[in-house]
Amino acid sequence: MAYRRGVKVVLTGAAGFIGSHVAEILAEAGHEVTGVDVRTGLDVRDRDGLGRVLAGADAVVHQAAKVGLGVNVADLPDYASVNVYGTAVLLAAMAEHGVARLVLASSMVVYGEGAYDCAEHGGVRPGPRLTADLERGRFEPRCPRCGSELARATIDEGAPLDPRNAYATTKLAQEHLAANWARESGGSAVALRYHNVYGPRMPRDTPYSGVAAIFRSALAAGRPPRVFEDGGQMRDFVEVRDVARANLAALGGGRPGCLTAYNIASGVPHSVGEMAAELAAAHGGPEPVTTGEYRLGDVRHIVASPELARRQLGFVAEIPFAQGMKEFATAPLG
């Protein structure tokens, strides 16, 4: 769904990985984009600074965030400050200046584990995996009622939300704050729950990088990608230019007074091991190494249905996995 041309959009996180692609596609569509980014001197926690750019704006596309799983609990204050407090400041400034449309970058991490079916008990939601099981190499979640193995299922936007790390908790808090703002101001909020985004300008290997960037950085340094667990973790990898198109489509979505959430995904899942192998092959090696290591807070499988975004926003991912990985294997990193 396309929104009218010439919309005045304030884009937070405009200099970041996803934000830079969103800025380009909004401008190409004829919108007037004002970028906000801490790297260019304006923090979303600066209410006075936000007031100067929000005056006269029609919409905000909010990409700014502290991302990644993090290192340890010492990261909690930064996650809460940037993602939660920063979003609260932004929403208050939007209300003050009468900006009535929000597109929020959310994440699939708000779901926690994905959806599963038990042969005996039907659809179930397993709890966090036990350290003892992970140590023994038992990576698949078990039925919380009978302990049997589960079959992976597809998750949709109506699934229970169960954040399991600091980043996930703050992304869900952003959604709740945006819903509060929409109800009280009459504005419309669209939350885009990104699945595993990859592509050009992705940040290099840091403790806050996504797995695709970690593998890509290893290959660039001549090291094999190190695949945790057994490599069988299923994800939906979506190319960043498709994500940018979803943001453009979301400008025309939503309903006054409420928040509507959408999975932004390709609809075609692949394993982490498969992704590493595709990247390594396109890069010319070295081949991945499966280590059996694990990270507490990681989930085993999470794959999504993008059907609601297709029906209501007209969004369908266009870049196939093999093509995207081939291009990403040699694309510049941020």
Per-residue pLDDT in tens (0 to 9) along the chain, 334 residues: 446 678 999 999 999 999 999 999 999 999 999 999 999 999 999 999 999 999 999 999 999 999 876 668 888 999 999 999 999 999 999 999 999 999 999 999 999 888 999 999 999 989 888 999 999 999 999 999 999 989 999 999 999 999 988 999 999 999 999 999 999 999 999 999 999 999 999 988 766 678 999 999 999 999 999 999 999 999 999 999 999 999 999 999 999 999 999 999 999 999 999 999 999 999 999 999 999 999 887 889 999 999 999 999 999 999 999 999 999 999 998 8
Stated pTM of the model: 0.94
Spacing of C-alpha 35 from chain mean position: 20
Q: How far is CA 298 from CA 114, 166, 295, in A?
A: 11, 12, 6
Rg, Å, the chain Cα set? 20
Tokens at residue 196, please? 């595993």
DSSP H or E stretch at residue 170: helix 166-185
Strand boundaries in 121-275, DSSP class E: 122-124, 151-153, 188-194, 196-198, 226-227, 234-235, 237-239, 259-264, 270-271
Tokens at residue 119, please? 């042969």
Query: CB under 8 Å, gap of 24 or more: what pairs does 286-291 form?
Result: 286/219, 286/222, 286/223, 286/224, 287/224, 288/215, 288/224, 288/225, 288/226, 288/227, 288/231, 289/224, 289/225, 289/226, 289/227, 290/227, 290/229, 290/230, 290/231, 291/226, 291/227, 291/228
Cross-strand partners of 237: 196
Q: How many whole angstroms separate alpha carbon 22 and alpha carbon 246?
A: 9
Cross-strand partners of 142: 149
Spacing of C-alpha 190 from chain mean position: 14
First to last CA, the chain: 30
Q: How many whole angstroms separate alpha carbon 97 and alpha carbon 105?
A: 21
Does 3.40.50.720 match the CATH number of domain 8-114+154-202+236-267+304-318? yes
Q: How many whole angstroms separate alpha carbon 201 and alpha carbon 22?
A: 12
- What angle in degrees, to the nearest 10, is found between the helix axes of 86-97 and 47-54? 40
Do β-strands 115-118 and 151-153 pair in parallel, antiparallel, or remain unpaired?
Answer: antiparallel
Q: How far is CA 318 from CA 7, 37, 262, in A?
A: 25, 28, 17
CB atoms within 10 A of CB 263: 29
Q: How many whole angstroms separate alpha carbon 231 and alpha carbon 281?
A: 16
Q: How many whole angstroms separate alpha carbon 32 and alpha carbon 10?
A: 8
Q: How far is CA 140 from CA 77, 130, 136, 229, 234, in A?
A: 32, 10, 11, 10, 11
Give residue 3's pLDDT: 60
Do β-strands 101-107 and 59-62 pair in parallel, antiparallel, or remain unpaired?
Answer: parallel
- Domain coordinates in residue numbering, the chain: 8-114+154-202+236-267+304-318, 116-153
CA angle 158, 161, 262 (to 5 degrees): 45
Tokens at residue 268, please? 């075609």
pLDDT in tens, 265-296: 999 999 999 999 999 999 999 999 999 999 88
pLDDT in tens, 41-55: 999 999 999 999 999
CB 258, CB 196: distance < 8 Å: no
